């Protein structure tokens, strides 16, 4: 139902915006306050309910644009979401009124937003929300599967009317609006100390995707997908760079079905991720509720590309961890176990880019060294990009890096490329305001053109390190281990001269002190004479 040439065109024309604007921020704050006043105070619930409302609007916006394009070309919309002149009947309808159905036209945003508050509330709750729960490609689609348990929680007509008005004012046609909302609200969640979820900034996701260059033949996976940021950005990249993704039936079918794979342990995030992918024309992705580290995960040698920012939760119960993963690194630290799972689930020749905390790079425990040794000696480690510690603020201040490697099972690491990223286009404080300094374009360019890196020295921002040197340093992958820091020699004046100046200053101070005491004595004598 959602397949259309328009949306492919739309995806290509998206203006990439890295950070939420002040206008959107203010609108989201208004909507947040509206939910709070209505008694909906759980941030993840707010995020979910807002996503439903966004989804309703974006479905209609999409078809409105399709209809405009059709008029321009004197044609008709193919497979419209809202067929003209037809009735939609809820498959789960129980009462006579519901079984009678409602015209598809009445389900459209630009129609129901103009109803009075009470009627709009009835239509949205009884029909529109049920419609978006059932939209999609069938009972077995990821979207249908995870939307079954969705609940409409907006409590009254007044609250819905205010939310609809605020969302209606947002321009969603020139940015990834859902991504903006997720980034901002998840930041509010982190600031309030609830839920413990935070989102990978979209400009970092885009950097990693551009480095990895996904293609229409890839099988892409994010084992900790969240709102599906990496997966959506991969789809957008393929549509922008491969014409076959638009018209070759085999490629189109693959992208809509088997290409995209994602797992999460949060049903809400799976629902949001499924909606996000559906809006990007991925109608039947392979999404599942799954603990990627558990014995239930049987993935092995099945993906050509993994891009992820797995949770750095510290420790977990090893008894619940897949024994095949523990064979790589016998530990309970999730940041190491996920790397092991990535190696296990990649096919030969497959590639991975994962965000990791800095401790993974230099940790001295047996497990830390073991996983680094596995990637360096048995696979092919390609790059280590050190990112500034403020990249994830205001969510967290942890220092992170990006590890890039390919699965070979026979080694192949000759030299490893290191990059010291100092700026990502935003201030590194909690405000994260845009700045001129931005290393990301340079990171991508240098990574994709390694031939130009051979002449660089350890004093440069990026350089190669021979694998033997890494082995000699116990597989330490921290950039500071290898970077040469140029220090300027500072000349200080002789200590003897400093002491002379101090003595002179002290003399001046004492003279001033004595003069002041003398003045006070003279004033006291004058007062006595009076």
Q: What is the pLDDT of residue 275?
A: 80
Strand partners, 306: 221, 352
Asked whether residue 216 carries a pLDDT value surpassing 80, the answer given is yes
* Total Cβ atoms within 10 A of residue 443: 24
pLDDT surpassing 80 at residue 168: yes
pLDDT band at 380 (very low <50, low <70, confident <90, very high): very high
Question: Nearest to residue 53, comparing CAs of 137, 172, 144?
Answer: 172
Q: Is it the case that residue 217 has pLDDT exceeding 60?
A: yes
Lowest mean pLDDT among 41-50, 68-77, 441-450: 41-50
Range scoring the smallest mean pLDDT among 41-55, 323-337, 425-439 = 41-55
Q: Is pLDDT of 7 > 50?
A: no
Residue 151 binned pLDDT confidence (cut-offs 50, 70, 90) = very high
The beta strands (E) that lie in 202-345 are given as 220-222, 260-264, 286-289, 303-308
| Band of residue 15 on the pLDDT scale cut at 50, 70, 90 | very low
Mean pLDDT of the region 116-129: 96
| 26-48 pLDDT, tens digit each | 888 899 899 999 999 887 788 88
pLDDT recorded at residue 13: 33
Report which DSSP code applies to 378.
I
Q: What is the pLDDT of residue 181?
A: 62
- Mean pLDDT over each residue of the chain, to the nearest integer: 86
pLDDT at 493: 83
What pLDDT score was predicted for residue 526?
Answer: 77
Interval 369-396 mean pLDDT = 92
Q: For 236-273, write each residue's pLDDT tens digit.
A: 999 999 988 878 889 999 999 999 999 998 888 888 88
User: Could you tell me the two tokens for 222?
Assistant: 């994010």
pLDDT at 366: 96
Residues linked to residue 321 through DSSP beta bridges, in sequence order: 294
Can you tell me the mean pLDDT for 117-139?
87
pLDDT of residue 5: 29
Cα–Cα distance for residue pair 234/302, rounded to 1 Å: 18
pLDDT of residue 490: 74
Is it the case that residue 215 has pLDDT exceeding 80?
A: yes
Phi and psi angles of residue 380, each rounded to the nearest 5 degrees, phi first: -125, 100
The burial of 100, by beta-carbon neighbours within 10 Å (0-12 exposed, 13-18 middle, 19 or more buried), is given as: exposed
Which of 97-106, 186-195, 513-522 shows the lowest per-residue confidence on average (mean pLDDT)?
186-195
CA distances from 267 to 24, 222, 233, 273, 392 (A): 27, 15, 21, 10, 24
Closest CA to 30 of 178, 153, 129, 168: 168
First to last CA, the chain: 104
Check whether 2 has a pLDDT greater than 50: no
Is pLDDT above 70 for 114?
yes
Of 339, 259, 257, nearest to 292 by C-alpha is 339
Element spanning 464, H or E? strand 462-466
pLDDT in tens, 181-214: 665 665 565 554 444 455 788 899 999 999 999 9
Average pLDDT over residues 378-387: 98
Confidence of residue 176 (pLDDT cuts 50, 70, 90): low
Least confidently predicted of 402-411, 453-462, 477-486, 510-519: 510-519
* Three-class SS state of 437: strand
From the centroid of its chain, how far is CA 37? 29
Lowest mean pLDDT among 24-38, 105-119, 148-162: 24-38
Predicted pLDDT of residue 508: 86
User: Token digits for 52?
Assistant: 């439903």
pLDDT value, residue 402: 98
Q: Which of 40-49, 139-148, 178-187, 491-500 shows the lowest mean pLDDT across its residues?
A: 178-187
Average confidence (pLDDT) over 404-431: 94
Question: Across residues 396-420, what is the average pLDDT?
Answer: 94
* pLDDT at res. 187: 57
Closest of 102, 100, 97, 99 to residue 86, by C-alpha: 102
Confidence check: pLDDT of 432 > 90:
no
Q: Which long-range contacts (CB under 8 A, 24 or more apart) does 441-449 make?
A: 443/207, 443/211, 443/385, 443/419, 444/207, 444/210, 444/211, 446/417, 446/419, 447/211, 447/383, 447/385, 447/404, 447/417, 447/419, 448/211, 448/213
When pLDDT is cut at 50, 70 and 90, the band that residue 95 belongs to is confident
| Alpha helices by DSSP H, 301-439 | 323-326, 334-345, 359-362, 366-373
Cis peptide before 394 (omega within 30 of 0): yes
Q: What is the pTM of this model?
A: 0.77
Do the Cβ atoms of 174 and 23 come closer than 8 Å?
no
């Amino acid at each position: 139902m959602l397949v259309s040439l328009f949306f492919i065109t739309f995806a290509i024309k998206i203006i990439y915006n890295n950070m939420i604007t002040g206008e959107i921020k203010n609108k989201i704050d208004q909507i947040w306050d509206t939910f709070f006043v209505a008694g909906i105070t759980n941030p993840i619930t707010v995020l979910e309910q807002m996503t439903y409302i966004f989804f309703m609007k974006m479905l209609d916006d999409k078809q409105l644009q399709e209809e405009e394009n059709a008029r321009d070309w004197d044609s008709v919309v193919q497979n419209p979401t809202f067929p003209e002149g037809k009735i939609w009947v809820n498959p789960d309808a129980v009462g006579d009124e519901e079984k009678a159905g409602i015209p598809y036209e009445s389900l459209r945003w630009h129609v129901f937003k103009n109803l009075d508050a009470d009627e709009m509330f009835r239509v949205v709750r009884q029909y529109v929300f049920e419609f978006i729960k059932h939209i999609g490609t069938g009972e077995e689609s990821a979207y249908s599967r995870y939307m079954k348990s969705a609940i409409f929680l907006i409590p009254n007509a007044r609250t819905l009317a205010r939310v609809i008005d605020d969302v209606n004012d947002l321009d969603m046609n020139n940015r990834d609006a859902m991504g903006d909302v997720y980034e901002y609200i998840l930041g509010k969640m982190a600031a309030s100390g609830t839920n413990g979820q935070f989102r990978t900034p979209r400009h970092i996701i885009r950097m990693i995707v551009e480095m990895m260059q996904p293609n229409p033949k890839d099988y892409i996976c994010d084992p900790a997908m969240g709102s599906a940021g990496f997966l959506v950005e991969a789809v957008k990249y393929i549509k922008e760079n491969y014409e076959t993704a638009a018209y070759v039936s085999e490629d189109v079918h693959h992208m809509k079905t088997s290409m995209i794979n994602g797992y999460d342990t949060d049903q809400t995030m799976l629902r949001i991720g499924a909606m996000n992918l559906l809006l990007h024309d991925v109608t039947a992705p392979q999404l599942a509720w799954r603990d990627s580290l558990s014995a239930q995960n049987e993935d092995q040698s099945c993906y050509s590309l993994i891009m992820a920012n797995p949770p750095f939760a510290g420790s977990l119960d090893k008894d619940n961890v897949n024994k095949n993963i523990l064979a790589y690194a016998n530990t309970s630290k999730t940041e190491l176990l996920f790397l092991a799972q990535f190696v296990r689930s990649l096919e030969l020749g497959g590639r991975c880019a994962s965000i990791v905390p800095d401790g993974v790079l230099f940790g001295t425990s047996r497990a830390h060294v073991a996983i680094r040794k596995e990637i360096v000696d048995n696979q092919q480690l390609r790059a280590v990009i050190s990112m500034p510690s403020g990249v994830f603020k205001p969510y967290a201040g942890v220092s992170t890096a990006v590890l890039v490697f390919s699965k070979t099972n026979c080694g192949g690491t000759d030299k490893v490329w290191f990059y010291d990223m100092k700026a990502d286009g935003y201030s590194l404080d909690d405000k994260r305001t845009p700045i001129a300094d931005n290393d990301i374009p340079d990171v991508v360019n240098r990574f994709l053109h390694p031939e130009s890196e051979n002449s660089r020295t350890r004093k440069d921002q990026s350089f190669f390190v021979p694998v033997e040197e890494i082995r000699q340093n116990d597989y330490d992958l921290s950039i500071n281990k290898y970077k040469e820091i140029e220090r300027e020699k500072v000349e200080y004046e002789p200590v003897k001269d400093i002491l002379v100046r101090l003595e002179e200053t002290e003399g001046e101070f004492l003279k001033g002190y004595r003069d002041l005491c003398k003045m006070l004595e003279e004033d006291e004598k004058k007062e006595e004479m009076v």
